[in-house]
Chains A and B, each alone.
Chain A
Amino acid sequence: QSVLTQPPSVSAAPGQKVTISCSGNTSNIGNDDVSWYQQLPGTAPKLLIYDNNKRPSGIPDRFSGSKSGTSATLVITGLQTGDEADYHCGTWDTSLSAWVFGGGTKLTVL
């Protein structure tokens, strides 16, 4: 059971938009910045979004993040088949004194 809650799966057609949610509480998302990681099949996670809405160099602006209260959201527009991956959110939890992740969301591009 992960501390942060993500939907197990989402799907959308190529070219469409998808939203992935990450729900927490006041000890984690409500208190610290959120990062998002993309994990392509059989590979290591890759930093996608940090500090809620910032993109590292090389990440296209089709990927965007936001945070409101105790929830965070990853939005991917102009979906491509190459976006099929697991997406993980993560943040610091002050109650647990630990960095925590969501269970991951599998994106399928139909």
Chain B
Amino acid sequence: QLQLQESGSGLVRPSQTLSLTCAVSGGSIRSSDYSWGWIRQPPGKGLEWIGNLYHSENTYYNPSLRSRVTISGDRSKNQFSLKLSSVTAADTAVYFCARGSGDFGDILDSWGQGTLVTVSS
């Protein structure tokens, strides 16, 4: 059974870089059948797509975040990571990692439990 688990710093200072990792078990990020993505949810608000990783090396980002986002994969550890630079309070959110299926990898069929990241000095 596929499992995804987010980890990383829960508190980030303004202007610093947010770093999170999603460990995948029960599946491989090398698989060409799936994409691996990050989605966030500010407190009390809706979901916002951040970006996806395809074939553990190709990426696609939300244009509104593209200048600050990097998603990368580590095949040896079967995990993928998110880096978001120059954070502000507006980046405070629960961050989820998820697997994408379907022709374009955009059906988010399995999610991690999420991790709260707070941006504060």
Identify which of B45, B96, B114 contacts A103 (C-beta below 8 A): B45
Which residues of B have CB within 8 Å of A23? none
Identify which of B47, B64, B112 contacts A90 (C-beta below 8 A): B47
How many residues on the A side are at the interface (Cβ–Cβ under 8 A)? 23
Is B15 on the interface with A (CB-CB < 8 A)?
Answer: no
Expressed in whole angstroms, the Cα–Cα distance for A51 and B102 within the complex equals 9
Rounded to whole Å, the gap between the CB of B62 and the closest CB of chain A is 5
Say whether A88 contacts B111, CB under 8 Å.
Answer: no
Task: Considering the complex, give the chain B residue whose CB is closest to the CB of A44.
Answer: B111
CB under 8 Å from chain A, chain B span 81-118: 96, 102, 104, 106-114
Is B33 on the interface with A (CB-CB < 8 A)?
Answer: no
Say whether B108 contacts A35, CB under 8 Å.
Answer: yes
Identify which of B47, B102, B104 contacts A88 (C-beta below 8 A): B47
A interface with B by C-beta (< 8 Å): 2, 35, 37, 43-47, 50-51, 56, 88, 90, 92, 96-104
B interface with A by C-beta (< 8 Å): 39, 45-49, 52, 62-64, 96, 102, 104, 106-114
